[in-house]
């Protein structure tokens, strides 16, 4: 995979915010295509004691969700934690992994926010725009906005609202388990984002591509060799 847009990652927080604002008009919102054959997921684990980031990128076949390709990297954290600027802390590592990918996915699920972000440009949107690839943000908690109560059954959801705008959905992906926050990244719309997220769930809270990436990140952090290109060998999943 190759990006089509570039910028420096070695910037100050103020410069990082400006980059987000300058790029957000590149976001495209449209329905996700029906013919999805490959889906990717990303995950990050931070080891604050070692000041190290463990990043993973996993490609699965869809709809059977068999492993096709998996990559990981561990490197020093170079950008401080700043609310709303996680793309500059985590993005460079994920971008390196995306450049390694041989089997280009049709859509990427990022374990982060997309448009549900103070500047409407979270990590899922940021890397989606840089690579011009359909992307979806799936986050564990609300960053900005409010929502109404949602029922405890899988599939129930409520709009995430901020300043009168619908910026995402709070979606129950598993009954009686905390919901996730989904939002448009790039080249998707909110309805197909919800549909595809639910289609990618296999009984856990997180969609399977992100769950597999998270398990891979744990292994990466433990020093295991996780890079693999098997073309669809289910036994290589965690």
Sign of CA dihedral 188, 191, 196, 197: positive
How many other CB atoms sit within 10 Å of the CB of residue 42? 29
Segment 82-86 shows an average pLDDT of 94
Q: Is residue 233 predicted with pLDDT exceeding 70? A: no
Task: Kindly report, residue by residue over 179-209, the tens digit of the pLDDT.
Answer: 999 999 999 999 999 999 999 999 999 999 9
Segment 101-109 shows an average pLDDT of 97
Q: Is residue 23 predicted with pLDDT exceeding 70? A: yes
List of domains in the chain: 30-233 (3.30.2170.10)
pLDDT-based confidence at residue 44 (cuts at 50, 70, 90): very high
How many other CB atoms sit within 10 Å of the CB of residue 207? 27
User: CA dist 77 to 45, 167, 206, 219, 236, Å?
Assistant: 11, 29, 25, 19, 29
Segment 108-135 shows an average pLDDT of 97
Residue 9 is predicted with a pLDDT of 96
Task: Kindly report, residue by residue over 145-184, the tens digit of the pLDDT.
Answer: 999 999 999 999 999 999 999 999 999 999 999 999 999 9
Residue 234 is predicted with a pLDDT of 59
Comparing CA positions, the residue from 123, 172, 136 lying closest to residue 62 is 136
* Percent residues over pLDDT 90 in the chain: 91
- For all residues of the chain together, what is the average pLDDT? 94
Q: Say what the pTM is.
A: 0.94
Residue 230 is predicted with a pLDDT of 73
Residue 231 is predicted with a pLDDT of 73
């Amino acid at each position: 995979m190759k990006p089509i847009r570039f910028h420096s990652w070695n910037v100050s927080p103020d410069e990082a915010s400006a980059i987000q604002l300058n790029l957000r008009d590149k976001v495209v919102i449209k329905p996700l295509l029906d013919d999805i054959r490959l889906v990717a997921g990303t995950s990050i684990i931070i080891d604050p004691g070692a000041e190290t980031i463990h990043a993973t990128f996993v490609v699965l076949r869809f709809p059977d969700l068999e492993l096709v390709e998996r990559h990981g990297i561990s490197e020093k954290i170079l950008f401080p934690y700043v609310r709303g600027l996680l793309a500059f802390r985590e993005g460079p590592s994920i971008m390196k992994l995306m450049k390694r990918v041989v089997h280009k996915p049709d859509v990427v699920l990022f374990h982060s926010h997309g448009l549900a972000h103070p500047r409407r440009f979270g990590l899922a949107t940021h890397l989606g725009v840089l690579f011009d690839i359909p992307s979806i943000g799936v986050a564990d908690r609300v960053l900005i906005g409010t929502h109404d109560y949602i029922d405890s059954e899988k599939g129930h959801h409520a709009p995430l609202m901020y300043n009168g705008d619908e910026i995402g959905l709070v979606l129950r992906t598993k009954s009686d388990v905390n919901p996730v926050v989904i939002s448009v990244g790039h080249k998707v719309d909110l309805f197909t984002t919800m549909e595809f997220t639910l289609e990618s769930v296999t009984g856990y809270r997180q969609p399977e591509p992100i769950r597999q990436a998270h398990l891979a990140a744990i292994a990466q952090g433990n020093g295991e060799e996780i890079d693999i290109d098997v073309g669809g060998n289910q036994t290589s999943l965690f």
